[in-house]
Amino acid sequence: MQSFALQLTTVLVLVVFAAFTWVLTNTKRKVDIGQVAPGAYRLRSILFIVASIVGVLISYKTLTPWPHTEQQPQVTRSIDVKARQWAWDLSDTKAKVGEVIEFKVTSEDVNHGFALYGPDMKVVAQVQVMPDFVNKVQYKFEKPGKYQILCLEYCGVAHHGMVAEFEVN
Ligand code: CUA
Write out pLDDT tens, residues 93-139.
999 999 999 999 999 999 999 999 999 999 999 999 999 999 999 99
CA distance 115 to 163: 10
Burial of 68 (0-12, 13-18, 19+ CB in 10 A): exposed
- Name the residue with the closest Cα to ligand 1, atom 1: 112
- pLDDT of residue 52 exceeding 90, the answer is yes
Q: Which residue intervals of the chain are DSSP H helices?
A: 2-26, 33-63, 67-70
Section 28-56 average pLDDT: 92
Q: Which atom of ligand 1 is nearest to the CA of 110?
A: 1
Ligand 1: centre distance to CA 159 (Å): 4
Q: Which atom of ligand 1 is nearest to the CA of 159?
A: 2
Residue 160 is classified by DSSP as G
